[in-house]
Amino acid sequence: MYLLDTTSTAAISIYALLLTAYKSMQVLYARPLNGPAVSAAPIETGPLPAVDVIVPSFNEDPGILSACLASIADQDYLGELRVYVVDDGSRNREAIVRVHDSYARDPRFSFILLPENVGKRKAQIAAIGQSSGDLVLNVDSDSTIAFDVVSKLASKMRDPEVGAAMGQLTASNRSDTWLTRLIDMEYWLACNEERAAQARFGAVMCCCGPCAMYRRSALASLLGQYETQLFRGKPSDFGEDRHLTILMLKAGFRTEYVHDAIVATVVPDRLGSYLRQQLRWARSTFRDTFLALPLLRGLDRYLTLDVVAQNVGPLLLALSLVTGLAHFIMTATVPWWTILMIASMTMIRCSVVALHSRQLRFLGFVLHTPINLFLLLPVKAYALCTLSNSDWLSRGSAPNVPVSGAKQIPIQSSRLVPPDCTCSGE
């Protein structure tokens, strides 16, 4: 009994020290620099680069897809912009094609109809292979982008050392449920603390899929590795964004975060969908963490702390909870120290974020703690034990509904044409 109590106390104490050091440094590094960052390489000037926007779509709601394409069409980018919309074998293709028809007369838009579902990764690659712009912007079909996103990301990419850049994510359906509100806060933290701090060292570890821009010259040399990613001999069918970002870093490019390039994306409004998403993301994170470990020797020590805190921290927390619960079951003694530490860290954390963001809503993020303790930690443990499982756990059926209204922001586009597919456009 004494061993269980000691283990629980020691684990939560080490976790508290690790998290305090990590979050303190994260908030410090996430603060914007007083002056412009100085790059070792000169920033290119001259004509604006051509941008290809790629929108992979599978079983998407027609209204949401329509909002996505409208936001791309409304971009203020003055350079050449082309949009490639790839339908990846959707079951509701008849409704999707009606959305495509709305943009058929826009010469910037091309549409590719794949005969069967091949997955987001191969849909992206099909478009990349047929396009030719200097920059490639991936936009998820359930996302909308602000009118200046292409301009702001392209501006960041004018530094030749930058291989990829992402914008700030928000939840377009934030007001729908208590869960979507929590996820929106989670996204704010992931972008404006985690990614912002990583960007201080030019090493954002995951340029998120809803809106990420890549340098074509860098992308071209990595497509083979990207397409053929294996894990324990099996094709890896998810985690495209994190894997491609790690490949960029391994190739010696910087990856950046642009806080004022705003992207709105639809987030899960039901707990089951949210947990399936988190399981998929956890598997991807664990897989690509192993791939990223050799990179840490050449990066700032903070990034090593970042990787340790994000991967070892949950294990320490889970160990404390399990041993504390076992001690309670066997002795009927409440592990007060563990409870007190978790409660105090939660309150301090939410208060600091509320001050940092100047938004009182983050005081409500305390509700995320029980979800993390009793749902997300078990999901991460299961993910770690089932890393070889490649089930997509995502959208399996398509709603055969007409084009409807949907929430989102502005966008711009690109073009493409893979073999073995139907392509319409110019």
Kindly report the average pLDDT of the chain as a whole number.
88
Is 245 among the domain residues?
yes
Q: How many domains does the chain have?
A: 2
pLDDT at 240: 85
Q: Does one domain contain both 256 and 310?
A: no
In sequence order, the 6+-apart residues with CB closer than 8 A to the CB of 204 are 164, 166, 195, 198, 245, 255, 256, 257
Is 286 among the domain residues?
no
Calculate the alpha carbon distances from 224 to 84, 240, 247, 361, 413 in Å.
21, 13, 11, 44, 25
Read off the pTM: 0.88
Q: Is the distance from CB of 263 to CB of 143 less than 8 angstroms?
A: yes
Calculate the alpha carbon distances from 76 to 79, 108, 190, 288 in Å.
9, 14, 27, 35
Q: How far is 285 from 296, CA to CA, in rounded Å? A: 15
Question: What average pLDDT does range 255-262 have in this prediction?
Answer: 97
Confidence check: pLDDT of 414 > 50: no
Q: Does one domain contain both 261 and 153?
A: yes
pLDDT at 389: 78
- Pick the more confident residue, 412 or 152: 152
34-43 per-position pLDDT tens digit: 544 444 455 5
Please classify residue 298 by burial: count the beta carbons closer than 10 Å to its beta carbon, then call 0-12 exposed, 13-18 middle and 19+ buried. Answer: exposed
Is 312 among the domain residues?
yes
pLDDT at 91: 95
Confidence check: pLDDT of 404 > 70: no
Provide, rounded to the nearest whole percent, the portion of the chain with pLDDT above 70: 86
pLDDT band at 406 (very low <50, low <70, confident <90, very high): very low
Is 204 among the domain residues?
yes
pLDDT band at 388 (very low <50, low <70, confident <90, very high): confident
Count of H-run helices and E-run strands, the chain: 14, 11
pLDDT band at 421 (very low <50, low <70, confident <90, very high): very low
Confidence check: pLDDT of 194 > 80: yes
Q: Does one domain contain both 138 and 245?
A: yes
Please classify residue 221 by burial: count the beta carbons closer than 10 Å to its beta carbon, then call 0-12 exposed, 13-18 middle and 19+ buried. Answer: exposed
Is 315 among the domain residues?
yes
Min mean pLDDT across 130-139, 177-186, 326-335 is at: 326-335
pLDDT at 422: 46
Question: What average pLDDT does range 329-344 have in this prediction?
Answer: 93
Name which of 26, 20, 29, 108 is nearest 72 in CA terms: 108
Confidence check: pLDDT of 46 > 90: no
- Pick the more confident residue, 425 or 1: 1
Q: Does one domain contain both 263 and 374?
A: no
Q: How far is 183 from 189, CA to CA, in rounded Å? A: 10
Q: Does one domain contain both 190 and 311?
A: no
Q: How far is 373 from 325, CA to CA, in rounded Å? A: 12
Q: Does one domain contain both 232 and 168?
A: yes
Is 79 among the domain residues?
yes
pLDDT at 391: 63
pLDDT at 267: 97
pLDDT at 239: 74
Q: Does one domain contain both 336 and 265?
A: no
Q: Does one domain contain both 160 and 252?
A: yes
Q: Report, in angstroms and rounded to the nearest whole number, the Rg of the chain calculated over CA atoms.
A: 22
Q: Does one domain contain both 346 and 410?
A: no
Q: Two tokens at 160? A: 């030749």
Q: What is the domain range of residue 184?
A: 38-274+400-424
pLDDT at 271: 96
Question: What average pLDDT does range 119-144 have in this prediction?
Answer: 94
Q: Does one domain contain both 381 and 406?
A: no
Q: Does one domain contain both 408 and 359?
A: no
Question: What average pLDDT does range 390-404 have in this prediction?
Answer: 46
Provide, rounded to the nearest whole percent, the portion of the chain with pLDDT above 90: 75
Q: Does one domain contain both 73 and 9?
A: no
208-243 per-position pLDDT tens digit: 989 999 999 999 999 888 888 766 666 666 678 999
pLDDT at 235: 66
Question: What average pLDDT does range 24-33 have in this prediction?
Answer: 91
Element (DSSP H or E) covering residue 59: none
Is 259 among the domain residues?
yes
Name residue 195's amino acid.
Answer: R
Name residue 147's amino acid.
Answer: F
Is 395 among the domain residues?
no
Q: Is the distance from CB of 154 to CB of 213 less than 8 angstroms?
A: yes
Question: What average pLDDT does range 108-126 have in this prediction?
Answer: 93
pLDDT band at 290 (very low <50, low <70, confident <90, very high): confident
Confidence check: pLDDT of 410 > 50: no
Which residue in this structure is represented by tokens 């391994």?
250
Outline where DSSP puts E strands in 209-270. 211-215, 230-231, 234-235, 254-265
Q: How far is 138 from 54, CA to CA, in rounded Å? A: 5
CATH number at residue 232: 3.90.550.10
Outline where DSSP puts E strands in 2-126. 51-57, 81-88, 109-114
139-169 per-position pLDDT tens digit: 999 999 999 999 999 999 999 999 999 999 9
